[in-house]
Amino acid sequence: MFDGLLYGLLILILGWAMAAIFFFFGIKDMSLSLARKLALLLALATPFMAYHVSAEHYLYRVTTLHEEVLEGSIDEMPGFPAPLRLAVFNVENPGVEHSCFITPMKTREIAFPAHIMGMITGPNHTVLLKFDETFEVVKEQHGSRIKHTTLEWHKKVFNFTPTHKGEHYIQLIPVTVGIPQLSFRISDPTKTGGLSFDGILNKKIF
């Protein structure tokens, strides 16, 4: 929560500081009256931008039930069985539809689709979610003023509804060789005190 407020406050301070500079000193090659109009517009728009950033970041954080980064298949050999990565998370509100966000993570430039299989099971070994998906490579633009394009794996979200409280298990199988890491986030829309991911890099289980 405080990270989101900090980001919003930073945007607010920077926006109002720029507005003050425009208002009192103007902008090169622009009339002072026009610069002041731009300053007023920026001063009015900045609180809305700050609120949007804070609210979006806050919503992401508070609904996060569990978030973790698992080892991928970077060290695997072609032709051998795909590794199984396993993680445990605790369900707090059974009967509520949860979301599972999955994405392969890169540590270098990538240019190949990633085939990943996965399953979520409950404490009684009931299968709540099962998927067999190919994550395609997409182009993503970054930067506001100086834009640059990178290749990223497409992110996917799957929904499931747990029926019991307590420990649940997620299994991810990176079938494609060369995937550095696997990131997943479990979201509970009724949760109000979520945390960001713990950064633990799990080791290969099998």
Question: Residue 154 is part of a domain; what is its CATH number?
Answer: 2.60.120
- Judge if 52 and 74 occupy the same domain: no
Task: Determine, yes or no, domain membership for 198.
Answer: no
The Cα 17–Cα 50 span in angstroms is 14
- Judge if 98 and 164 occupy the same domain: yes
Name the pTM for this structure.
0.65
The Cα 105–Cα 124 span in angstroms is 31
pLDDT of residue 1: 41
- Judge if 81 and 24 occupy the same domain: no
**pLDDT tens digits, one per residue of 94-116:** 999 999 999 998 877 777 999 99
Domain that holds residue 113: 67-193
pLDDT of residue 75: 86
- Judge if 36 and 113 occupy the same domain: no
Alpha helix locations (H) across the chain? 2-25, 32-62
- Judge if 72 and 55 occupy the same domain: no
Q: With left for phi above 0 and alpha for psi between -120 and 50, is residue 32 left, alpha or beta?
A: alpha
Task: Determine, yes or no, domain membership for 204.
Answer: no
Mean pLDDT, rounded, for 18-28: 56
- Judge if 16 and 84 occupy the same domain: no
Single residue among 38, 61, 84 that ends a domain in this structure? 61
Task: Determine, yes or no, domain membership for 199.
Answer: no
- Judge if 39 and 121 occupy the same domain: no
End-to-end CA distance of the chain: give it in Å, rounded: 37
Tokens of 206: 């099998």
- Judge if 46 and 94 occupy the same domain: no
The Cα 126–Cα 120 span in angstroms is 8
The Cα 38–Cα 25 span in angstroms is 12
Task: Determine, yes or no, domain membership for 128.
Answer: yes
**pLDDT tens digits, one per residue of 72-87:** 999 888 888 999 999 9
- Judge if 103 and 189 occupy the same domain: yes
Q: How many domains does the chain have?
A: 2
Whether the predicted pLDDT of 198 surpasses 80: no
Instruction: Please report which confidence band the pLDDT of residue 140 belongs to, taking 50, 70 and 90 as the band edges.
Output: confident
- Judge if 21 and 99 occupy the same domain: no
The Cα 76–Cα 187 span in angstroms is 30
pLDDT of residue 77: 86
The string of DSSP letters for 104-133 reads: EE-SS---S-EEEEEEEE-TT--EEEEEEE
Mean pLDDT, rounded, for 43-64: 56
Instruction: Please report which confidence band the pLDDT of residue 202 belongs to, taking 50, 70 and 90 as the band edges.
Output: very low
pLDDT of residue 44: 59
| Chain centroid offset of residue 91 CA | 20
Whether the predicted pLDDT of 32 surpasses 60: no
Residue holding tokens 């809305």? 48
For the ranges 50-54, 91-95, 174-178, 191-195, which has the lowest average pLDDT?
A: 50-54
Angle at 205 between CA 203 and CA 206, to 5 degrees: 135
For residue 163, report the phi and psi dihedrals to the nearest 5 degrees.
-110, -10
Instruction: Please report which confidence band the pLDDT of residue 58 belongs to, taking 50, 70 and 90 as the band edges.
Output: very low
Tokens of 126: 């009931």
- Judge if 27 and 78 occupy the same domain: no
- Judge if 92 and 169 occupy the same domain: yes
Task: Determine, yes or no, domain membership for 98.
Answer: yes
